[in-house]
Structure 1
Amino acid sequence: MKHVFLCFVLLFLGSTTAVWGETLSELQQRAESGDSDAQYDLAMRYWEGKEGAPKDDSKAFYWAKKAAEQGNAYAQSWVGYFYENAYGTARDFGEAAYWYRRSADQGNRFSQNNLGECYYYGRGVERSYEKAVLWYKKAADQEFPSACYNLGWCYENGEGVASNRSLAISYYRKAAASGNEDARQRLSKLGLSADGSSTTSASTASTSSSSSGSHVDPSTLANAQSGIDVSQYVLGQQYFDDGNYEQAVYWWRQAAKQGYGKASLKLGDCYHDGVGVDRNVTTAAHWYTEAAEQGEREACFKLGTCYETGGGVIKDYQIAVKYYDKGGYLTASALCSRKWLQQYRSGFDYAAATAGELRSRANNGDALAQCHLGLLLYADEKTTEAKEWFKKCAANTRANNLSKTIAKKYVDQIEEADEEAAEMFELFFGF
């Protein structure tokens, strides 16, 4: 399933209560006086970077939370979204679920659907398909397309409810009629159209999908069918090796739903490359996230790349760096940190500058150049020289906080690596 909250928020929550022609300072005065509507409107101005307000996720989060604390259901929904996606604040799935619930309890269908997602994936709450279905249904009853699709998925796969193909198709069609592309594609894969007509023989499709490949081991199949996640993963690989990509995706999905990280990584690859499923970089990023949170290093790298390039997620160099670090891809982290630093500086393009150009500026006391040069040298494995430039940046009174933070981080990283190397030398060659 896909998490498609943002597009619907922008579509349905775009209306605000700001006074026509009200300036940013006037709106801020009302917000500071405690007007929750003004606080919400101010948050949206900062979020979208419009009507006199620069784009500032931190201020958007600050004012949205002020309004949310006064009971504004729309603001509560946004605060949940900010916490879930680390916009303007640290990612906190528990806080996200809390604010979605407060909003959902007021009947907000966006939050009801997102709270369902929290329960479906176990984000910030204990995983429960039954509770996911409960919240999806509340949103679907208000004709929220994504919730209709999600509910259809649960009925099709028997997750949280008894499997019911008829109800699944009904909800898919309801979602498709409102423009939900995932529902339309799902109906197509079932051999159906959104208007109720059949496009293929369902019995033929069923027979085809259940056929075994020549390399499928019967005992692995039996174990997978009994619900053993590692067997589901191995079975998926056997189908994949046989060229039966749709069955591979099916079994990897079963394992991934049980939290098997390697299966989540494989699903991410399938969606990224369009193998066995329609190519969907947003869904790929979702499964890479699942795998990364389950400790798969390769997924951390791929997710970092998604955030660095904006593939399936909103481009965010800071989050990219976080995942590169988590996976141990330190060279990629250093190079991405250069892009992260550059976005806070206009004029000279530090991120594209050569080592020589950076060295010239760094020798003249340019703190940003010192940090960029250190990162470039670090990526080139010239850690001793890199460390010296990082130290100069960290001690430079003209360095901004971000430059200093990055410089200190790499100094610590290099020193830790040096200590480990010394310990290993002592272990093998000491007397």
Structure 2
Amino acid sequence: MKFKKLLKAMYPRRKIKLTLLCMLLVTSVFAQKVIEMEKLNGVYQIPCKVNGIPMKFIFDTGASDVSISYIEAGFLLKQGLLKEDDVLGSVNYKMANGEIREGTKINLKSIDIGGTLLSDINATIVHNLEAPLLLGQTAIDKLGAYTIKENLLIFNDNNEELSLEENDKGYSRLMNFLVKENLIEFVPTSELKDNHDIKNLVKKLDSLTTLKNKDNPITQYELGASYMKLYHEIVQVIDKSKAKEVFYKSVYLLEQACNNKSEDACYELGENYRFAVVENGTIDSKKSIYWYKKGANLGNSLTSSACSHSLGRYYKNSGKDDEAFYWFHKAAVAGQNDSYSELGDCYYYGEGVSKDYEKALYWYEKGVLPNYKKMGDIFYYGGYGITMDFGKAVEYYEKGAANRYYGSNTMLGQMYYLGEHFKVDKRKAFLHYEIDAKKNGHDHAYYMMGLMTYNGEGILTDRKKGFKYYYEAAYRGHSAAQYQVGVSYYYGYGTNIDKAKSASWIEKSFENGYERAKEFWDNKQLWIYKED
């Protein structure tokens, strides 16, 4: 009875079977740690301390790095917990909606997860005030082998860093492991001594191979995934053909786990074949799709839904909209955040399904970072189940502008320029266009700045500046701007007369669908000036 009371005291609000709790208590004898996570909007959040400051991160096995937003980074800087030496440079990363954004690479001195201290973690500052905090693989990998039971994270509490220079016994143990597993020729001694990532992976593999139940799909997955990570590391320092044995070991173990219904293993295989992790470096789409589908059909977990999402991306890129819609819908219904925006796009553009702005809006709103620009467009244009509403459009465009969504400021500029919802205010229109042009490189924003500067609308007339703005838009492919640049070169508006350049830009404009360019080409007989 005392034992049962103890269990109730530890887990008063959890409906967990007694056998599972017994297992957790027994495994704690073997230095395992159990952390309770909070499930919010279909994802798990885990409490951590970053450089001593408490934060809550999304436990995201699909993210390569730990990421924080400007807000957390600014606080750490003000407290002196993030120093100049910790800033490693700029990096580009891909948003869930497919946009490429710039971030800042940093080093976090420590992340404390329930008393387990992880040191020197690579992280990214996302240049967005509302970006979620993600605990990615740069931290998760350092936890070693882990499992998730309901909302509980279970992992070995092992903070020891193996120093091969100072610990001959530890070095000997790892060498023995490599010999036993026939890996000694694939992992050079020098790399085992000097390469921190390879050293820790070998250490993790050594630990996993000592587990008794190797037929357990979790163990098979952890072994297979670790071998695949080791393959990634060693192909960078030795010949690929020599590393293929590690690749084959990984695939063998992961396939075993897949056949034992491990969704994680299926996803791992799908990803690796998708990104050309084979000995000859070629992508094998058929195998990738096979394993994604196997994982997707195993259930409705987040990992299964990640397989479905990847299938959706594959079919979308292949132009098979019906297939893409099916898999995005399956993933989104199962709670895959990345698929919300993709499914919203399917309804927004009518790809694989009839256009339906109401459903597009529903799925956009579920996203962690909703596509405010498209949500604004839904109310700006109306139709397909939504009544036109400029007021609602402005609400979303302003949110999009605050989050630097491409085109949001341009639409606000247009509404000030045309007097839609707002009174006509050319100065405010120009300022909005300027923000989108200079921060996001928006072609139409540059075009409008050129038009307004040429004509003195909301700003002093200046044809040289106007030509500069037109040129920026033309360079980005804006057909009307290409026409204006061609006309400017022909007459010398804001630039020197150059008939050859005029012919080149007018021709580009027409090829990009601007009809007035063909008329100008014919009237001025610009073919005379066309350069061979």
* Short-chain TM bin: 0.3 to 0.5
TM-score for both structures, normalised by structure 1: 0.39
> Higher helix proportion, which one?
1
TM-score for both structures, normalised by structure 2: 0.32
Q: Which has the higher contact order (CA 8 A, sep 6+)?
A: 2
> Higher strand proportion, which one?
2
Which one has the largest radius of gyration? 2
